[in-house]
Structure 1
Amino acid sequence: MATAEPAGHLVVVGTGPGPAAHMTPEATAAVAGAEWLFGYGPYLDRLALRPDQLRVASDNREELDRARAALAAAADGRRVAVVSGGDPGVFAMAAAVCEAMEAGPAAWRQVDFSVLPGVTAMLAVAASVGAPLGADFCALSLSDNLKPWAVIERRLLAAADAGFVMALYNPVSRARPWQLGRAFGVLRRVLPDEVVVVFGRAAGRPDARMQITTLGEARAGMADMATCVLIGSRSTRLIARPGRPPLVYSPRSVGGEVS
């Protein structure tokens, strides 16, 4: 009796914030072992692919279509990698692939599936300025593509009131340039103007830029879509160092920062 062809393998790979040095050896090996690679074009451009590897690029707003195409290829027996910037599980492709798998045909659930972590933007930005995530923190996306803005506002207020340091992803876009300014307005209701804010753009890349300011001075124009914004808690500190960049850190101990 003929046996069924084994299903292929699909791995979701996190390439880190940009430079090859921030990509894990495990992720590098997974990319080298893939036949077909699916991803947003600029992320695929960072990889040194061989001529025998098929590159399937798509727009950054086509996550579900990309996930479906990758699952279909893997179900046909291909060794597939879905390439994601940063960490694939943080506002990225791992969840999109799981969502497509759950809604798709039964054959997709038989695919050998794995997710490989990467260095996400908030970790790269934090390391560039000190240790702002040294205490409890959370990550929020300001994109309202998949959730109402009212939900984002409630989460911002709850996180600020609870004393979390916040990492804000997707702070602005061409379609929604108002998001970050609105978020700052929400946070100023519950946080003092002196709270430290870090604008971390393209961490680890040649065009990286780290700007440290305060909530009172922060403006939406300081960020673009390549920026991760860190909002300190009431306890986050700034260490001035004459002749050197200042350091930002959040003490591990808990004081009286929660109102």
Structure 2
Amino acid sequence: MSGRLFVIGLGPGDARYLTQDAVESLQAADALYGYGPYLDRVPVRDGQSRYPSDNREEGERARAALRYAAEGACVALVSGGDPGVFAMAASVCEEIEAGPPAWRTLDLAIVPGITAMLAAAASAGAPLGHDFCALSLSDNLKPWELIERRLDAAAEAGFVIALYNPVSKARPWQLSHAFALLGRKLPATVPVIFSRAVGRPDESLTVTTLQAAGEVGANMATLIIVGSAETRVVPREGKTPLVYTPRGVAKVMA
């Protein structure tokens, strides 16, 4: 019997962000693997086993799911947001490349989900309306010096920048350092969006400027979007400002 592995994106939180493909894949699975808080989002189904693990156990989680699928089971490995954006799909592919030949014969399906970046952008307006990039500020898997170079290059190129994993208890200083670095290339008035727990009951959205961004609190549940020099803010009385980046560029950069 050939096993199957679904790598499923749960979206940023609320069930309304879960795609129909993801729902059907979750229902078809004999077993679920994932970071504990993500598994808690999935409704319990009789006869379906669950294997929660810690946030920094991506490799072992992927290997465990692959081993079970190789035994002939239908397995679902869940991620928040989209599994291919700073999430489990890359870990699964890495383990398949390094693992036994049998893992390459598995029926593998990567089931996309709505990323926090896209959900946050939709809540604010259209800040990703023109060219943009996404960066993780976590230096667990890459050196901080590389993050600095990429931030500098993105700001120099005029990209809107979505920042994942902006701060943690082990990394309390990096976000303010990133803002200072971006401030060397970007105007102080560039809009900055802080979207916390998007798609969840405690969701909040704050629109500020790069100059004042250091005064806004953030944690690992926060997605930050730093605008470009082209990004605009439209005030709306009694409502959150509308933030958008025009699809056209006012002038060609030198």
* TM-score category (smaller protein): over 0.9
Pairwise CA RMSD: 1.1
Deviation at 1:200, TM superposition (A): 0.3
Count of matched residue positions in the alignment of Structure 1 and Structure 2 = 254
Aligned to 1:19: 14
* Runs of 4+ residues over 6 Å off in structure 1: none
Q: What per-residue deviation string (whole Å, max 9, x for no partner) do you get for residues 112-162 of structure 1? A: 101010000010000001000011111000111111111111110111111
Aligned to 1:240: 235
Is 1:30 equivalent to 2:25 in the alignment?
A: yes
Task: Give the aligned residue type for 1:7.
Answer: S
Give 2:84's match in structure 1, choosing from 89, 94, 102: 89
Kindly indicate whether the alpha-carbon contact (under 8 Å) linking 1:171 and 1:223 is maintained by their aligned counterparts in 2.
Answer: yes
Deviation at 1:23, TM superposition (A): 0.2
3-state SS, counterpart of residue 93 of structure 2: helix
Is 1:48 equivalent to 2:43 in the alignment?
A: yes
Deviation at 1:258, TM superposition (A): 3.5
Q: How does 1:204-243 map to 2 (within 5 A)?
A: 204-219=199-214, 222-243=217-238
Taking the aligned partners of 2:194 and 2:23, their CA distance within structure 1 comes to 29
Q: What per-residue deviation string (whole Å, max 9, x for no partner) do you get for residues 211-244 of structure 1? A: 0000000117521000000000000000011122
Taking the aligned partners of 2:59 and 2:179, their CA distance within structure 1 comes to 31
Task: Give the aligned residue type for 1:189.
Answer: R
Is 1:135 equivalent to 2:148 in the alignment?
A: no
Taking the aligned partners of 1:17 and 1:164, their CA distance within structure 2 comes to 23
3-state SS, counterpart of residue 213 of structure 2: coil
Deviation at 1:7, TM superposition (A): 2.4
Q: What per-residue deviation string (whole Å, max 9, x for no partner) do you get for residues 73-104 of structure 1? A: 01110100000000000000000100111111
Percent identity, aligned pairs only? 61
Aligned to 2:173: 178
TM-score when normalising by structure 2: 0.98
Q: What per-residue deviation string (whole Å, max 9, x for no partner) do you get for residues 12-42 of structure 1? A: 0000000001000000000000001000011
Taking the aligned partners of 1:203 and 1:144, their CA distance within structure 2 comes to 23
Moved more, 218-227 or 150-159: 218-227
Q: What per-residue deviation string (whole Å, max 9, x for no partner) do you get for residues 149-204 of structure 1? A: 11111110111111110100000011111111111111011111000000000112
Is 1:202 equivalent to 2:197 in the alignment?
A: yes
Q: Which runs of 5+ in 2 are unaligned?
A: none
Aligned to 1:60: 55
TM-score when normalising by structure 1: 0.96
Taking the aligned partners of 2:112 and 2:236, their CA distance within structure 1 comes to 34
Taking the aligned partners of 1:54 and 1:257, their CA distance within structure 2 comes to 56
Moved more, 163-172 or 214-223: 214-223
Taking the aligned partners of 2:2 and 2:147, their CA distance within structure 1 comes to 40
Aligned to 1:7: 2
